[in-house]
Amino acid sequence: MRDHIFFYLNGASQKVTGPAIFETLSRYVREQKRETGTKIVCEEGDCGACTVLIGKQEGNTIRYLPVNSCIQYIFQADLTHVVTVEGLSKDGLTPVQDAMVRCHGAQCGYCTPGFIMAMHAVFEEKKTCSAAEAQRGLTGNLCRCTGYEPIIKAAMEVRDEPRIDALYPTAPILRDLSSAESAVRIGNFFKPATLAEAISFKAENPKCTIVQGATDVGVWRNKRAFESPSYLSLSAIDGLGEIALRDGALEAGGRVTLAQFEEAAATHVPEMAAILDRFGSPQIRNAGTLAGNIANASPIADTLPFLYVMNAELELTGRAGVRSVPIGSFYRGYKTLDLAQDEIITKIRIPTPRLGEILKLYKVSKRSHLDISSFTAAFLIRMAGGRIDAVRIAFGGVGPVVLRLPKTEAFLQGKSLDLAIFEGAGAIAREEIKPISDVRGSAEFRLQLGENILRKLYYALAA
């Protein structure tokens, strides 16, 4: 077992131990390595100025994805290759950087390194990009000067951007990373090699925090001075990072990222993929996990209404063995889970819509993308003979947990597709929910949304 974090930074090996492993990647590269191209602005994963590329092993190669380094910690970089903006330009300006200069893609320049890294990530996957592809790849990067048009233009003009493996040959880096021991123990941080070791550590450390993406924990530590008694990483445990379709259901391991989930949903549940596209930036989805979104237990978590109407099940593994819990039974109250102290979410099983079933998902937020929801809704409907044969409804942001609406479901059962029927259902839904007022909307606003969404559903079905 190692007593240090081992990774590569711009082609050079790094070893970090002691309390320094809890430093953010952004501060490490700026303050320890004096590579100040990576900028720190929001420190909560919103603006993208701190974007770096994290390379992780996939088979016999390394795949590089953009993440927000301001909410990624040194211990999360273990056995990866981190590339910063300085690492791209070690042989002079790359085509991405040259295009940003020629197209006047920078004014004050503070956001520019993050844009360059996010733009390069697009070209890790393809040789050219359209305006729409550029916009999607740069969703997580904010600029207050240019109006984005010259940045998008720059992305569309890029040709022959060298991939990271052309700048830093994969073989020697992969050889070093692969030869290192997978397990790490440093102070109150543990990265075990087996699930049994993880379960034992969690049982013996009652208040430990499992950290995978750190998209919430990173914000808590940066902005709320949060500190956990101990931290547990599952990144070395085989099998937890896999997602596959089996027997009509998506099965996602406990550390499957939201980006992996989105990729699978695009094929098997396109309606959910559209919600995930609005969920957060590519940087956030590349780091955050589906299990983390579930365990965080927010009533406005964007994945939960979908999981509720699909009757998803959670596989929980502890010292006593494995048990399965329906998602609707997992939440006992606000932030209160049916999860024993030694248990870990090891799998999420999500049935996909069957032939004839209609899935509709809705998210209401002040911004279209990169915003926390004010209200969410999910509907799974099966029609037969012009009538509603079966229906499941789940609302988020209207109670301490995501709510199923049994009275509204019962009212719609057997009814025809008629506007007056759905308006009546909306009135019942309004009575079933108990929202509060907060910074994202008043209780009255959410009550009205709960009613109006049934009318919107009618028009979607009628179309």
**Residue 353 CB partners (closer than 8 Å, separation 6+):** 269, 310, 359, 380
Report residue 188 CA to chain centroid gap. 26
Q: What pLDDT is recorded for position 371? A: 85
Name all domains of the chain by residue range, CATH numbers in brackets: 5-87+166-232 (3.10.20.30), 95-161 (1.10.150.120), 243-351 (3.30.465.10), 357-462 (3.30.390.50)
Three-state DSSP class for 38? coil
Output the six-digit token pair for 219. Answer: 């914000």
Q: Which of the pair, 206 or 205, is modelled with greater confidence?
A: 205
Kindly tell me if the per-residue pLDDT of 364 is higher than 90: yes
Predicted pLDDT at 278: 86
**Alpha carbons 37 and 86: distance in angstroms, whole number:** 7
User: CA 237 from chain center: how many Å?
Assistant: 19
CA within 13 Å, CB half, 122? 28
What pLDDT score was predicted for residue 303? 97
Give yes or no for residue 20 having a pLDDT over 90: yes
Considering the entire predicted model, what is its pTM? 0.95
Question: What local confidence, expressed as pLDDT, does residue 367 receive?
Answer: 82
Q: Is 81 helix (H, G, I), strand (E, B) or coil?
A: strand
Q: Which residues contact 224 (CB under 8 A, 6 or more apart)?
A: none
pLDDT at 280: 84
Looking at the chain, the whole-number percentage of residues with pLDDT higher than 70 is 100
CA separation for the pair 430, 446 (Å, rounded): 9
Average pLDDT for residues 64-75, to the nearest whole number? 97
- At 146-173, the pLDDT tens digits run 889 999 999 999 999 999 999 999 999 9
Question: Residue 441 pLDDT > 90, yes or no?
Answer: yes
Count the neighbouring beta carbons within 10 Å of the beta carbon of residue 444. 10
Q: Say how far apart CA 2 and CA 361 lie, in whole Å.
A: 45
Mean pLDDT on 119-139:
95
Angle at which helices 149-157 and 95-102 cross, to 10° = 140
Question: Strand 189-191 relative to strand 184-186: parallel, antiparallel, unpaired?
Answer: antiparallel
For the segment 254-297, what is each residue's pLDDT rounded down to a tens digit? Answer: 999 999 999 999 999 999 999 998 888 999 999 999 999 999 99
Q: 54-63, 66-75, 275-284, 397-406: lowest mean pLDDT where? A: 275-284
| Percentage of residues in the chain having pLDDT higher than 90 | 95
- The helix or strand, by DSSP H or E, that contains position 232, with its residue range, turns out to be strand 231-232
- 360 or 385: which leads in pLDDT: 360
**Element (H or E) spanning 358, and its range?**
strand 357-364
Question: For residue 29, what are its two tokens?
Answer: 């590269």
The single-letter DSSP state of residue 194 is S
**Phi (first) and psi of residue 420, to 5 degrees:** -60, -35
CB 192 within 8 A of CB 201: yes
pLDDT tens digits for range 386-438: 899 999 999 999 999 999 999 999 999 999 999 999 999 999 999 999 999 99
- Would you state the structure tokens that stand for residue 351, as one six-digit string? 């049935």
